[in-house]
């Protein structure tokens, strides 16, 4: 029997808890295999409180474990100012799994961001396209010229995302 339920662990991940409790929550999270629970969880009691720590948990996972959730992770970047989004952004900049799933998810998100005229999301996607040398040539050949051009137009406005 487990000592802590997933609800207990998610509660520990809240930024309202002490640093010690948050660290314990992060450590306990490492043993959870179903990582989808960490993707922008909405707990009625905590709201976004756990998103930064959930992003830290996800950022520690391998590309293989994250790959099935790539669409949801790219969607997290739609509001780069939300908790955890910068952590996910930085993790995706080092993502090396550029299979068809990744390029399809990236293209869908880019199309949605263009249709919505979502400049924050376009800036984040542009940063991924330009900031990952493994990704860049693959995505540039798989994405339409319109998408690549649109993302390039937004890249310069969001260079601050790429500052360490």
Whether the per-residue pLDDT at 85 is higher than 50: the answer is yes
Tell which wins on pLDDT, 83 or 46.
Answer: 83
Q: Specify the pLDDT at position 129.
A: 84
First to last CA, the chain: 42
Q: What's the pLDDT at 45?
A: 65
By CB atoms closer than 10 A (0-12, 13-18, 19+), residue 74 is buried
Q: What is the mean pLDDT of residues 22-49?
A: 86
Instruction: Give pLDDT tens digits for 53-76.
Output: 999 999 999 999 999 999 999 999
Question: pTM for this one?
Answer: 0.88
């Amino acid at each position: 029997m487990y000592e802590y339920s997933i609800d207990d662990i998610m509660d520990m991940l809240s930024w309202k808890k002490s640093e010690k409790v948050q660290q314990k929550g992060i450590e306990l999270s490492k043993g959870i295999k179903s990582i989808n629970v960490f993707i922008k969880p909405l707990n009625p009691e905590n709201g976004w409180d756990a998103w930064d720590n959930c992003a830290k948990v996800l950022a520690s996972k391998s590309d293989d474990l994250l790959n099935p959730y790539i669409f949801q992770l790219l969607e997290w970047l739609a509001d780069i100012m939300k908790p955890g989004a910068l952590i996910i952004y930085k993790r995706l900049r080092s993502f090396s799994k550029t299979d068809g799933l990744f390029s399809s998810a990236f293209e869908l998100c880019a199309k949605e961001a263009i249709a919505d005229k979502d400049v924050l999301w376009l800036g984040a996607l542009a940063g991924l396209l330009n900031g990952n040398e493994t990704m860049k040539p693959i995505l540039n050949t798989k994405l339409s010229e319109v998408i690549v051009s649109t993302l390039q137009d937004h890249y310069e406005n969001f260079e601050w995302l790429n500052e360490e």
